[in-house]
Every structure is written in structure tokens, then in C-alpha cells.
Amino acid sequence: MPKNLGTLTLGHDIINYNYSNQPNKYNMAKIGYTFPEFKRVTLSLGTGYKYTGSDNGFDIYANLAYRTKSGRVINVNYQYNQMGGYIINNMFLPMSSRHSINLVVNDAFALLPSGIKSIGYTDENKGYVDVVTFSLLY
């Protein structure tokens, strides 16, 4: 997808874990879209659908981010998750739903000849620094 049209993400999770000798497994298909940045504001929306397991249904997220001139990013995130039910000692404990709102402030600094500056700063004469990181969780 061209950068000026935003970013579309597709994903699939296969979850299989055992908690207190009770197995829980489900599959989830995910889709998300990040709109192009406009006046340093970015909006991301996404959903995931659990199509197997004891807690079928949708998970939803939304993220609104503002990037300051210094490169600091301030995010407001909303998430809705469903957690499945469990059978413990032949007794079923039903599923629950969770709503969460987070405020996140991100910044990184670099040591430059001109002093300590936030990575991502804009300098009219020297261009723009964009740092991209990847992480692998397992």
C-alpha cells in the first residue's frame, strides 16, 4: 500500500496454553488500519475475531497519537477484550469483558554534537530522523 494511503495490517494468532491444568486454546484473525498522519496526528483502528475456543467474539482497539515537533509521541489507546470462561473442579466460571484506556508518552534521545536532542526532531537544514524498531515476543 502506498505510504500516503496509510497502513493496513493483517494478522492471525494461534493461542494454546494451560493454566491450572485447564487448557485454553483459540484462534484469532486480526485486521487494523492506520490512517496517514495529518498535522502530526495519527489514528489507528483495528479488530480481532476469535473464531474458536470458549470465548468467541470480537476484540476492538483504537489509538490516537500526536507527534510533537521534538519527536515525542503521545498516545491515547482504547481496548476492549473478551476473556473466556474456564472449567475448574467441574465448575464453569463464565467469561468477562474488559475495557481499558491508556495514556502513553514515548520519547528517545540521541547524543549529538549540538547536545542531547529527541530522536525524531525536525531540523530544516539537516532533514528528519525516523527511527523504526521491531520486537519479537514469544
In a domain, 114, yes or no: no
In a domain, 135, yes or no: no
Alpha-carbon distance of 127 to 125, in angstroms, equals 6
Does residue 71 carry a pLDDT above 80? no
pLDDT of 46 = 95
Instruction: Say which residue, 106 or 128, is predicted with more confidence.
Output: 106
Under 8 Å between Cβ of 63 and 76: yes
pLDDT per residue over 33-49, tens digit each? 999 989 989 999 999 98
pLDDT of 136 = 56
CB atoms within 10 A of CB 128: 10
In a domain, 132, yes or no: no
In a domain, 39, yes or no: yes
In a domain, 57, yes or no: yes
Under 8 Å between Cβ of 77 and 101: yes
Q: How far is CA 76 from CA 11, 53, 63, 81, 85, in A?
A: 22, 30, 6, 17, 29
- How many domains are there within the chain? 1
In a domain, 83, yes or no: yes
Q: Please give the residue range of the domain that contains residue 42.
A: 3-107
Does residue 53 carry a pLDDT above 90? no
In a domain, 133, yes or no: no
Place of cell 496526528: 41
